[in-house]
Amino acid sequence: MAILGIDLGTTNSLIGAVDSGFPILLANAEGHRSIPSAIHFPDSGDPVVGEAALRQRALSADRVVTSVKRLMGKRLAEVERDRHPYPLTADNEGYVRVALGNKGSLSPEEISALILKELKASAEAAMGTTMDRAVITVPAYFNDAQRQATKRAGGLAGLTVERIVNEPTAAALAFGLHRSKDHARIAVYDLGGGTFDISILEIHDGVFHVLSTNGDTYLGGDDIDHAISEHLWQAYQSNKFTLAEQDATLQIKFRAEAEAAKIALSEASSQLIRMPFVEADKHFEYTLTRETLDQLARPIVERTKALCLRALHDAKLKLDQLDEVLLVGGSTRMPLVRQFVTDLFQQEANTSQHPDETVAMGAVIQGGILSGTLRNIVLLDVTPLSLGIESFGGLMNVIIPRNTTIPAKAGEMFTNAVPDQTSMLVRVLQGEREMARDNWELGQVEVPFTPGPKGSARIGVQFQIDENGILEVLTRDTKTNTDTVLEVKNAAIDVDDKRVEAMISESVDHAFDDMSERVFTEAKLKSEELLPAVDQALALIGDQLDNTDRQEIQDATEAVKQALANRNATELKQANAELDDATQQLAALLMQKALADASA
């Protein structure tokens, strides 16, 4: 069953799916592959989405909601209210809602759900079947609240959101960069209608890592349209027209003309703007040249420079370490922007894909990979959390660290802590905490072995994760070559993002405590080895020591016991070291005796 790929954009939204093995974008009934992310809420009747909604802007600006993506997961205090021409309010917790007069108010995700519903319906019409699973893209900088809101919007539209994908990652997929075998570092420069995002990604063996992101949620093609329409207004005024102020309707007309001219000038070098009967029987005509457009747009485009440089700096990369620069977003169709990016990054930007369709295409490809309809693409996954086993003293012993590319295989050798032990309990754990008890147990297995003195057993533990995320734990008694196998299905990579984030932030919160507990446990294990060994040696050859040496050892032994009782890690480490020092002479005597015994 195919999975839909959706670019839920600030200005425009697109949908697609894999059809007969090909990732394609699906056009709506009017033949458009992209619809404006705009919703009109009429006083009576159902909301209208897309082009038809935009047309209502001149008549009822406060009932046409655009750029709702900027409001996703945000509190009212966090948004620039004057950039939204419709009224906003807040819910009890302070989160933004859009006020719709007699119709009450709606949350940003409820409004986004209307766009998603429209996209879903047109996709179903195009494919001739119902479809209810989707991959939706979000900006890389979206936080958990914003991602959750996007997921909820999908749910409200009747979609099961299989995955939320970062827009730059989707773009890189559409450019085919997951096929780059070795290391590739790329910049994704995304200038859309209302937002600018720069992301630096690293692709390694088909796995994407976002190294850094930066941007401005109020910077894009809209600002260029605004600059052009201001320019047109000045030309208009100096043309002996009588209107002294633009009313809302005229303002919207100018904006529409400005955008159309801008788009035309991506191909043409000059464009005639004609507004007949703008004032009674008067016509307004103006020729906008590419040169004037570039002058107007340059200061806006220049604002992306500092943001790009900051992203590079955060990724700890120099310009010449970037293998590719990808252009994404409708505004990167402008020749000025292409030249600007080429100059800034000192390399020709990759323009092999339609900049306004790449993100949606990537979402479709990701959907195809998830549903298995695009089999020839192998997209490797990584382990979201570390995998390991519990070792002596209740410590977490990591065998496969987090973020390891799967499939993966790793192992370690373990021994018995207690003499004459007949078996060892292997507890398989997942998590980032230092103590086993704070991590999640995935399974356990009892491994029998031949009893012997402490440290005589040789038990190999091997973790293997296949491409489906199935973890197999193999333990082997290397003396007898007896194997025990434990299979943990899907536990290794199938953890939902929220729990992974919670685990990681917990491990950061507790890093200090956890670390001191680990240090103490390790020091305690060392004391537990040292103390009986010292006792044994004293019993054997203690009489050969002089009184000062013997006293020193006794004091050091006491200090270790005291530190153990105090549960103080630093003190214990220090005491262990001093006991080690104090027993130098004893150890030397022991060695001499062993040599003498051997030659005797």
Kindly report the length of the chain. Answer: 600
Provide the minimum distance between the beta carbon of 157 and ligand ADP in the complex, in angstroms, as a whole number.
18
Which of 73, 330, 388, 469 is the binder for ligand ADP (CB under 6 A)? 330
Distance of alpha carbon 292 from alpha carbon 274, whole angstroms: 17
Q: Which stretch binds ligand ADP (CB under 6 A): 3-11, 50-58, 128-136, 314-322?
A: 3-11
332 in Cβ contact with 355 (< 8 Å): yes
Distance of alpha carbon 332 from alpha carbon 358, whole angstroms: 12
The partner residues of 274 in beta bridges, in order of sequence, read: 285
Which of 334, 363, 364, 398 is the binder for ligand ADP (CB under 6 A)? 334
- Find the binding residues for Mg ion in span 150-209 (CB under 5 A): 192
Q: Give the x-and-dash track for 347-366 against ligand ADP (CB under 6 A).
A: ---------x----------
Which of 2, 4, 5, 9 is the binder for Mg ion (CB under 5 A)? 9
| 46 has catalytic annotation | no
137 binds ligand ADP (CB under 6 A): no
70 binds ligand ADP (CB under 6 A): no
Nearer to ligand ADP, 188 or 435 (CB): 188
> Choosing from 109, 118, 167, 438, which is the catalytic residue?
167
195 binds ligand ADP (CB under 6 A): yes
Provide the minimum distance between the beta carbon of 358 and ligand ADP in the complex, in angstroms, as a whole number.
9
> Choosing from 190, 197, 432, 434, which is the catalytic residue?
190
Q: Which stretch binds Mg ion (CB under 5 A): 8-16, 35-43, 52-60, 537-545?
A: 8-16
14 in Cβ contact with 7 (< 8 Å): yes
41 in Cβ contact with 10 (< 8 Å): no
11 binds ligand ADP (CB under 6 A): yes
Provide the minimum distance between the beta carbon of 246 and Mg ion in the complex, in angstroms, as a whole number.
29
Q: Pick one of ligand ADP, Mg ion, none as the site partner of residue 107 (Cβ within 5 to 8 A by kind).
A: none
5 binds Mg ion (CB under 5 A): no
Nearer to Mg ion, 72 or 387 (CB): 72
Residues ≥6 apart with Cβ < 8 Å to 379: 173, 178, 206, 207, 366, 369
389 in Cβ contact with 461 (< 8 Å): yes
Cβ-in-10-Å burial (0-12, 13-18, 19+) of 53 comes to buried
Q: Which residue has the tokens 């108010």?
A: 105
Nearer to Mg ion, 37 or 416 (CB): 37
**For residue 435, what is the DSSP state?**
B
Q: Pick one of Mg ion, ligand ADP, none as the site partner of residue 178 (Cβ within 5 to 8 A by kind).
A: none
Distance of alpha carbon 587 from alpha carbon 538, whole angstroms: 10
What is the H or E stretch that residue 81 is in? Answer: none
> Choosing from 7, 259, 356, 432, which is the catalytic residue?
7
Give, in order, the Cα–Cα distances in Å from 304 to each of 218, 308, 400. Answer: 11, 6, 40
Distance of alpha carbon 572 from alpha carbon 586, whole angstroms: 21
| 320 has catalytic annotation | no
203 in Cβ contact with 183 (< 8 Å): yes
Nearer to Mg ion, 135 or 436 (CB): 135
Tokens of 511: 């890093």
Of 170, 138, 160, 134, the closest CA to residue 8 belongs to 138
Distance of alpha carbon 524 from alpha carbon 563, whole angstroms: 9
64 in Cβ contact with 39 (< 8 Å): yes
Alpha-helix runs per DSSP H in 175-240: 221-237
Which of 3, 5, 9, 579 is the binder for ligand ADP (CB under 6 A)? 9
| 190 has catalytic annotation | yes
Of 356, 360, 363, the closest CA to residue 3 belongs to 363
Cβ-in-10-Å burial (0-12, 13-18, 19+) of 278 comes to middle
Of 167, 170, 196, the closest CA to residue 331 belongs to 196
Cβ-in-10-Å burial (0-12, 13-18, 19+) of 325 comes to buried
462 binds ligand ADP (CB under 6 A): no
Q: Total binding residues for ligand ADP by CB under 6 A? A: 21
Q: Which residue has the tokens 């299905």?
A: 489
Provide the minimum distance between the beta carbon of 267 and ligand ADP in the complex, in angstroms, as a whole number.
8
- Find the binding residues for ligand ADP in span 235-264 (CB under 6 A): 259, 262-263
Q: Which residue has the tokens 């827009």?
A: 167
Which of 10, 112, 217, 404 is the binder for ligand ADP (CB under 6 A)? 10
Provide the minimum distance between the beta carbon of 40 and ligand ADP in the complex, in angstroms, as a whole number.
18
Q: Pick one of Mg ion, ligand ADP, none as the site partner of residue 356 (Cβ within 5 to 8 A by kind).
A: ligand ADP
Of 210, 148, 137, 109, the closest CA to residue 498 belongs to 148
266 binds ligand ADP (CB under 6 A): yes
Q: Give the x-and-dash track for 283-322 against ligand ADP (CB under 6 A).
A: ----------------------------------------
| 580 has catalytic annotation | no
329 binds ligand ADP (CB under 6 A): yes
Provide the minimum distance between the beta carbon of 255 and Mg ion in the complex, in angstroms, as a whole number.
20
16 binds Mg ion (CB under 5 A): no
Q: Total binding residues for Mg ion by CB under 5 A? A: 2
Which residues are at the interface with ligand ADP (CB under 6 A)? Answer: 9-12, 192-195, 220-222, 259, 262-263, 266, 329-331, 333-334, 356
Instruction: Supply the residues annotated as catalytic.
Output: 7, 69, 167, 190
Contact residues: Mg ion, CB under 5 A: 9, 192
